[in-house]
Amino acid sequence: MTTTREQFEQRLAQLRREAPELTRKDFAHLAGVAEKTVRNWLDADPEFADTARTGARRVQLFPFDEGAQWVRKQLFGADERAPEVSRGPRLAAEPQRMPHTPGERWRWVDMARLRGVTPTAVRLLAADYRDHPERPFPPRDEFDRMCDADEVSAWFLWYDTTRPGYTGPRPAEIAADSGTKDTRHKEVVRRLHAALDNGETLTSRALAEELGVSFDVAARYLRQAAEEVLPKRGLISRSQIAERLPAASATLTPEQRRERVKTLLKRKSAPAPVITVADTPYYSETAIAEFLAPPV
C-alpha cells in the first residue's frame, strides 16, 4: 500500500469534520485504493458489512469510528491506536436510562454508540432476547427497521440492573475495590477545566499533539472528560438543547427538533457557545433556559 499512516490520519481528520458516517467511497479515499478493492474487503468481512445502514439513494453508511478502525486494519493490521470498542453486550458501569427525546427511534448503530459497543453486538443481543418470556427485546418496526427509544431505554435499564448471565462485580466496583486510578483520564479532566477557565477551544487534534497519542485516542479521552466535567459546569451541547425545547415542540420529530434548535441559535439574541470541545459547541444551561423561556 502506498498510503502512509500520516496520510490516513490526515484524510480521516478531514472526513471527521464533514460527516458522522462513512461511505464506501470514503473508505476508498481513506485507503487510497479503488472502490472495487473496498468491495472485495467488505465481501470478505460480512460481519462488518452488516454494521451499515442504508441512506439516501441506497448509499451504505457505516459508523464513523468503527469504519475508520476497519479501514486502518485493512491497511496496517491490528493497530494499538484504534478505538477501544467492546464487541460484547457490555453492562453499564451504573444502571441508568439511556437519554432520548420524546418519540425518538433508534437503529442498531444509535444504540451501539450510547452503549459503547458495536452495532453487531447490539443486534446479537437483541436476537438472544427476542423470545425472552418476561423481557423480550423491543421489536423493530417492519417498515423503517427502527426501535422505539423509550422501550429500548427501559429494556437496557432492566438488563443493567438484573445482570442476566453475569457474575462478579461491575467495572465501577472493580475500580473502587482495587483503588485503580486512570491517571490519563484525570490529566485530560484537568486540561479541560483549564480550557474552560481560560475560555479556550480544545480540539481532539490539539490534545493528541499535547499527549502524544493518535487523534482517535485523544477524541475518546476528550469525550469521556466532557461527559464528566461539562454537566458539572452547567454546560450543554446542541443536541441537549433539543431536549429542552418548550412543550409546544413536543410533537416534532427528533430531526425537526434539531433543525428548530439550529434556527433558534442563528438569532441575534441567542447565547454564544461558552466553549467548543472536540468540534462540539457547548452552551450555558442557564442562558439557554432563559433564551427558550416564553415571553412574560
Determine the pLDDT at residue 296.
64
pLDDT band at 85 (very low <50, low <70, confident <90, very high): very low
pLDDT digits (tens, 9 = 90+) for 255-277: 888 888 888 888 888 999 888 88
Check if the beta carbon of residue 217 is closer than 8 Å to that of residue 292.
Answer: no
pLDDT band at 183 (very low <50, low <70, confident <90, very high): low
Determine the pLDDT at residue 169.
63
Determine the pLDDT at residue 115.
82
Determine the pLDDT at residue 170.
64
Is the pLDDT higher at 41 or at 19?
A: 41
Quote the distance between the C-alpha of residue 285 and its chain's center. Answer: 21
Q: May I ask the CATH class of domain 85-180?
A: mainly alpha
Its pTM stands at 0.40
Q: Which H or E run contains 236?
A: strand 235-237
For the chain, give every domain's residue range.
5-76, 85-180, 181-229, 236-292
Determine the pLDDT at residue 46.
81
* Closest-CA residue to 204 (of 193, 214, 189): 214
Residue 217, classified by CB atoms within 10 Å of its CB into exposed (0-12), middle (13-18) or buried (19+), is buried
Determine the pLDDT at residue 173.
61
Check if the beta carbon of residue 108 is closer than 8 Å to that of residue 123.
Answer: yes
pLDDT band at 178 (very low <50, low <70, confident <90, very high): very low
Q: Please identify which residue in the block is written with the cell numbers 468503527.
A: 66
Determine the pLDDT at residue 138.
94
Residue 220, classified by CB atoms within 10 Å of its CB into exposed (0-12), middle (13-18) or buried (19+), is buried
Mark 88-124 as b/e (b = at least 16 C-beta within 10 Å).
Answer: ebbbbeeeeebebbeebbbbbbbbbbbbebbbbbbbe
Q: Is the pLDDT of residue 252 over 80?
A: no
* Closest-CA residue to 276 (of 204, 184, 185): 204
The arrangement of secondary structure in 5-76, i.e. its CATH architecture, is Orthogonal Bundle (1.10)
Same fold flag, 5-76 and 85-180: yes
**Amino acid residing at 3:** T
Q: Which residues pair with 280 in a beta bridge?
A: 277
Determine the pLDDT at residue 86.
42
pLDDT digits (tens, 9 = 90+) for 106-161: 999 889 888 877 787 788 888 888 888 888 999 998 888 899 999 999 999 988 88
